[in-house]
Structure 1
Amino acid sequence: MRRAEDLEGFDGEASSTSMISGASSPYQPTTEPVSHGHGLRGLRCDPDYLRGTFGRLKIAQVVLALISFICIETIMVCSPCEGLYFFEFVSCSASVVTGVLLLMFSLNLHARIPQINWNITDLVNTGLCTFFFFIASVVLAALNHNKGAEIAAVIFGFLATAVYAVNLFLAVKNWRINSRQQNTRQTSDYMRARTESREVDHRPEIQRLDG
């Protein structure tokens, strides 16, 4: 029979061996939660965008377009109705599309679809909304029947046109600046590569003269 000291020593070796084998085993338990879905990973709100100029303009555009749509929806009787229907379509489309773009930029969802140029998409949407909101507001102002809802819709329509126009001006300005910087960077890279190639071409002649 083994003595108690031997048994204690055996148990100590066994416990240390199990600790070593457990540390080297690739199947150790972990305390990190297991993620079963990757759809919402990295989804977060970008407060810097919402506090920035374009974020505030986008919020104002959605609010004004939505108010314009609500005002025009309260009108029950119209004659003629073409101007009202056109204004209704423009305000509804602008609020939906601009709202989607606001969500894409504020939640960084646009980074998951790099195949789409979101800056150009936003620029095109802003330009179209500026143009059609102005036309729809002018037509509704010319065909209105001096009703409170129509007057309110026209006012908010022109306000939305102004906000979209400011956004369009700033977007075009930034696009020109970025294009100019990109062209300058490409030109400098080309000149640098051309200079390096010339230096490489002259080095064999210098070595030949030294020899």
Structure 2
Amino acid sequence: MMTEQDFPNPQVTTTVTTSNTTVQTNIRFDPLYIRTIPGILKVVQIVLNLLGFICITISPYRYHSRNSWFNTVAMTGFWFTGIMLALYLFHIIEKFYRIPWLKIEFCFCALWTFFYLIAASLAADQGRYDEASGAAAFFGFVAMVAYGYDAFLKFTGVRSGSLAQGERVVSKSTSTVTSPAY
């Protein structure tokens, strides 16, 4: 004869994870974005790109290949970051929330961190002959840090499943069902 102790107590645990995405698809101007950390980073990156570009442009060695590379990095960063800032300010990023904006920005910021490491190092070497290149190297290294920190923020956002703009609320509910013992 079997007793209750011979039968295992079946217990089923079910975890349900639901995700709710809340976005507003209307285009609107929101100047408060500039007060957020990503907004401040974008403004700082734009200013550093422009200052580095100006320093190289006034250099007597501006046509040297090293300085041309620096200007290419600075101007591409200036335009990409400026366009992204405009897209965030007008909530166009939120309107097209299905595009993986965080992944795109992460790739760009990580690549520009590397590009600025090279460009600023070359400008620093050129700075032995020219103060303007030395100043550009300073702005380039600071821009490298800004893009690196931005890449880190984008990476953590991608890993957590965040949206670039808008909200995604993830809720988990766990239920445990225990069968009665016979």
The answer as to 2:65 corresponding to 1:66 is: no
Residue in structure 2 matching 1:147, options 121, 125, 130: 130
Q: TM-score, normalised by structure 1?
A: 0.61
1:78 to partner: Cα distance: 5.6
The answer as to 2:133 corresponding to 1:133 is: no
Residue in structure 2 matching 1:55, options 34, 39, 64: 39
Write out per-residue CA displacement over residues 11-44 of structure 1, whole angstroms, 9 at most, x where no aligned residue: xxxxxxxxxxxxxxxxxxxxxxxxxxxxxx9442
Structure having the higher strand fraction is 2
Q: CA RMSD in A?
A: 2.9
1:97 to partner: Cα distance: 0.5
Count of matched residue pairs: 150
Runs of 5+ consecutive residues of structure 2 not aligned to the other structure? 1-24, 163-167
Alpha carbons of 1:78 and 1:108: their partners in 2 closer, same or farther (altered >3 Å)? closer
Larger RCO (CA within 8 A; separation ≥ 6): 2
Aligned to 2:69: 86
Larger radius of gyration: 1
Contact 2:27 2:95 in 1 (8 A): no
Aligned to 1:109: 92
Structure having the higher helix fraction is 1
Alpha carbons of 1:177 and 1:89: their partners in 2 closer, same or farther (altered >3 Å)? same
Percent identity, aligned pairs only, is: 29
1:108 and 1:131 mapped to 2: Cα distance? 29
Aligned to 1:37: none
4+ residue runs over 6 A deviation: none
